Structure 1
């Protein structure tokens, strides 16, 4: 499917592989996977915890100066991951090693899992200037210093929509060769592969050959990505496609989708609800900056998080949306190694939009013992009402808010942090930062 941002693209995160996926991923050197890995068709993080992608795409290749703020805003709105558009230098200006390393660092700083994709492959065989998957592998080898050692935080999407509607029967062999070259070059990341047919796989080439492609990966650590636009215009089509993967224990994600498109009207409600039911990840297209007639795919108008579009509000705060379903990767929250309570510091970053607001809250354990099981108490400074919270549980009584841990954020190791986000509204149009915070009865420093 042809999209334009400058020629936009997609991904769908698929999880696992048929009978081969039941065992732990085979490792070429006999060592366990150093980061994300596929087991029994599910994507697990480095701690062995299941991780389901809930995020959006950001076009870094075309808007590099927007990336730092975009990632902060995407995280503040509740996402646990972001798919970042990179360019190999063949169709668009190359994102070099230093640039890629900076993107990874910003993802980690914002506690977002970083799905990096090479975009110049989009529509190969049909789109002028598009390059092959082999050329994409050359790119990854060229920037390997930016991503090796980051396997706990980074998924590598080898090439975006690697075939258009011509020559796509070569997808299977080309993808197997790309996986083999990536592994031979020492990449131990989870690798993501996009479908042909502009990502939409209407020919079912990826669907029908996914098991053999998964088996061709020496590390059994490949996820399949489907892009859902006009081809997926009904709940039956969405469910049937995703069921074909999950029933075989093959890992799949929806790497791109929108709420409308020039090639048809995708059923975004079915995509999101089916993904929740099946435990499949999704990454919506896209944060901002779309052009060429598909400006309606922007989630934020002009990269301004205070001006979310209808599509932006739908994916972040609608039913089965990011704020309802996203869970932060456990690699950002530390491990359970003790109990206790001690000193604490709280950062409360407010995004104020008048009659509604978001807050990104980080709690740091500045004591010498781990905190296991926590409750953070504070009061809103005005007539604000809590609407939703992510990565935590919360109740409000009057102006007082009590936030407690989820199972995956139960422990705050000494010197470490946990983060959560909240969304609220105000009848007065005035919002502010709470005056004081207490953690398990201990007053915290505001940072």
Structure 2
């Protein structure tokens, strides 16, 4: 769940004259900016590429923590939303969402006719929250997944980093935000960029409000939108109206990127947030669809990701006065005259070959598309859930990291140049080969280095039997939400707290009385207890 301080100072009454605040904002000239490729900002408004005003009406979805819930995007659209803000991770605090996953998210947004606001959550509360990373680090992540975003400027807004400062050293927000925007522009990003406020997104010290003009002017494309998060700080109508009206008067684009009907730091005035944003023609994105924890489960809009179980908060934001159903208008890019929204045909049902204890090769017949198929996504299917397995430009792929003597079901999607995703192919069931002899084993586990939000670990597997172990899979469960990032000596997969490592070619054989060593890096929360049990080829190992 997202980090949040238990309390923040309340919004102070602003005694300074409005003129003194606005003059420096209005005095800014209009430098010769490059014309944005898709969404753009003009005269303080967010416009689509055709010049239409676009007002966000949507919700946040915690994709990085629930990657198997991509079907939620269709459910969010069905409730009337025109936008979804999607939580991603740079890999610094949670499992990294790679370019293939980002491409899939964008394709799903487009298939469901939603505008995608993509945000990196690892920056949350930087300077105060353990493990949080800088906006510069978030910009590096975006550059790393740029291939998934190039050409999607009509459909995607890049929210550099969530709540990038807590309540410590937040005065650095202005310079850091300018630098991050310019880093993305220098890398070739032409998207509209969204920037969150400091103070856990709530800007109670007015750092963003009072420096927004200079941040906007620092964007070579003049295509930056500001995002305020409204929780306990914004618990009166006067505070909400004053903050938003200052941006509108100064002709600076502003959206309410997060808000709720209640929070641990106070009771936000959601009715005023909804009413004033409608009055001013401003966008809003409520927090959040489902999956909240840490004591704020009441912010779920639906229970257990079930679109048929709206909570009271869900009823309010979707169906209440000034809510999404009553005020949302679909982006014009999805109209019959705008953009390629026709998906490819479904690929052929895959066939399996070269099945080993840890891998399988899949082949399928090509999909067709009027503008051409650009690639395929292979997924593992379990019930109604899907997990990304691999991506490829061709019609064959080898999926690795599987467990021995385990049944899997696979399917394939096709993607076109516009990011549209096809219907799913038929499925193929595969059972992997045996992983080798049952093991007589011992395992030692230790942390070799540790830092806020992460650590490096070492695992030694010892063969305590009288015959060689030929091929193995090691499994364990982390007790406190640790997640493996990189691992050497094997191929890791992780589902929730459960980790499975298949042997690498050079570690697959362990001689009697011999051992192999694995090393890895991982993220962690506030504590870092070690696993209490390991199995090798499904046999329990003693702990050394």
Q: Please name the residue that 2:3 is paired with.
A: 7
User: 1:39 and 2:32 equivalent?
Assistant: no
Root-mean-square deviation (CA, aligned residues, Å) is: 1.7
2:55 to 52, 57, 81: 52
| Distance in 1 between residues matched to 2:122 and 2:257, nearest whole Å | 16
Secondary structure in structure 2 of the residue aligned to 1:136 = helix
| Distance in 2 between residues matched to 1:180 and 1:34, nearest whole Å | 17
Q: Please name the residue that 1:133 is paired with.
A: 135
User: 1:62 and 2:65 equivalent?
Assistant: yes
Alpha-carbon distance, 1:335 to partner: 3.2
| Distance in 2 between residues matched to 1:122 and 1:57, nearest whole Å | 15
What is the TM-score of this pair, normalised by structure 2?
0.58
Secondary structure in structure 2 of the residue aligned to 1:214 = helix
Question: Do the aligned partners of 2:4 and 2:200 also contact (CA within 8 Å) in 1?
Answer: no
User: 1:27 and 2:33 equivalent?
Assistant: yes
User: 1:208 and 2:210 equivalent?
Assistant: yes
Q: Please name the residue that 1:124 is paired with.
A: 126
Question: Do the aligned partners of 1:114 and 1:153 also contact (CA within 8 Å) in 2?
Answer: yes
Q: Please name the residue that 1:81 is paired with.
A: 83
How many residues were matched structurally?
Answer: 320
User: 1:333 and 2:335 equivalent?
Assistant: yes
**Equivalences for residues 177-326 of structure 1 within 5 A:** 177-326=179-328
Question: Do the aligned partners of 2:2 and 2:124 also contact (CA within 8 Å) in 1?
Answer: no
Secondary structure in structure 2 of the residue aligned to 1:61 = helix
| Distance in 2 between residues matched to 1:167 and 1:221, nearest whole Å | 26
| Distance in 2 between residues matched to 1:138 and 1:180, nearest whole Å | 12
Question: Do the aligned partners of 1:22 and 1:39 also contact (CA within 8 Å) in 2?
Answer: no
Change in CA separation of 1:115 and 1:197 when aligned onto 2, cut-off 3 Å: same
Change in CA separation of 1:100 and 1:6 when aligned onto 2, cut-off 3 Å: same
Question: Do the aligned partners of 1:21 and 1:249 also contact (CA within 8 Å) in 2?
Answer: no
Residues 330-380 of structure 1 show CA distances to partners (whole Å, capped at 9, x for unaligned) of: 0000339xxxxxxxxxxxxxxxxxxxxxxxxxxxxxxxxxxxxxxxxxxxx
Alpha-carbon distance, 1:47 to partner: 1.2
Normalized per residue, which structure has more helix? Answer: 1
Question: Do the aligned partners of 1:21 and 1:40 also contact (CA within 8 Å) in 2?
Answer: no
Residues 81-125 of structure 1 show CA distances to partners (whole Å, capped at 9, x for unaligned) of: 000000000000000000000000000000000000000000000
Runs of 4+ in structure 1 deviating by more than 6 angstroms, as ranges, are 20-23
Secondary structure in structure 1 of the residue aligned to 2:257 = strand
Q: Which has the higher contact order (CA 8 A, sep 6+)?
A: 1
Question: Do the aligned partners of 1:22 and 1:41 also contact (CA within 8 Å) in 2?
Answer: no
Change in CA separation of 1:22 and 1:43 when aligned onto 2, cut-off 3 Å: farther
| Distance in 1 between residues matched to 2:28 and 2:75, nearest whole Å | 36
| Distance in 2 between residues matched to 1:26 and 1:40, nearest whole Å | 15
What is the TM-score of this pair, normalised by structure 1?
0.70
Question: Do the aligned partners of 2:123 and 2:162 also contact (CA within 8 Å) in 1?
Answer: yes
Residues 262-291 of structure 1 show CA distances to partners (whole Å, capped at 9, x for unaligned) of: 100000000000000001100000000000
| Distance in 1 between residues matched to 2:38 and 2:312, nearest whole Å | 36
Alpha-carbon distance, 1:34 to partner: 1.1
Residues 38-84 of structure 1 show CA distances to partners (whole Å, capped at 9, x for unaligned) of: 000000011110000000000000001012x2001100000000000
Q: Please name the residue that 2:165 is paired with.
A: 163
| Distance in 1 between residues matched to 2:173 and 2:79, nearest whole Å | 36
Secondary structure in structure 1 of the residue aligned to 2:59 = strand
Question: Do the aligned partners of 1:21 and 1:250 also contact (CA within 8 Å) in 2?
Answer: no
Change in CA separation of 1:218 and 1:40 when aligned onto 2, cut-off 3 Å: same
Q: Please name the residue that 2:149 is paired with.
A: 147
| Distance in 2 between residues matched to 1:310 and 1:229, nearest whole Å | 17
| Distance in 1 between residues matched to 2:43 and 2:2, nearest whole Å | 38
Alpha-carbon distance, 1:8 to partner: 7.0
Secondary structure in structure 1 of the residue aligned to 2:69 = helix
Q: Which runs of 5+ in 2 are unaligned?
A: 6-23, 339-544
